[in-house]
Structure 1
Amino acid sequence: MPRRRGAPRAYWPCALVTLLWLPQAPAFACGSLPADMQRRLVAGDLRQQQALAATVAAEADAIVIADVVAVAPDDARVHVRQWIKGAGDAALQVAPANRLDAIGCLPSAEFRNVALRSGEAYLLYLAGGSVLRAGHLRRGPQELTLEQELAQVRGVGVLPATTEVR
Structure 2
Amino acid sequence: MLATATRSSAVKALYENVLKEAERSAKTGPLVAYLQNRYDNLKDAPSTESQQQPSGRDYHPFIAPSKTSAEIQEQNLENLHVFLQNKALHSELLQRYNPTVGMTEEERVRLTARRVGLDVPITHDATSESSNNYRESAQIAQDQYKQDKDHREDQLYSGKGDGHNVGGPLRPPIAKD
TM over 0.5: no
Give the TM-score of the pair, scaled to structure 1.
0.24
TM value normalised by structure 2: 0.23
Larger fraction in helix: 2
Whose strand proportion is higher, 1 or 2?
1
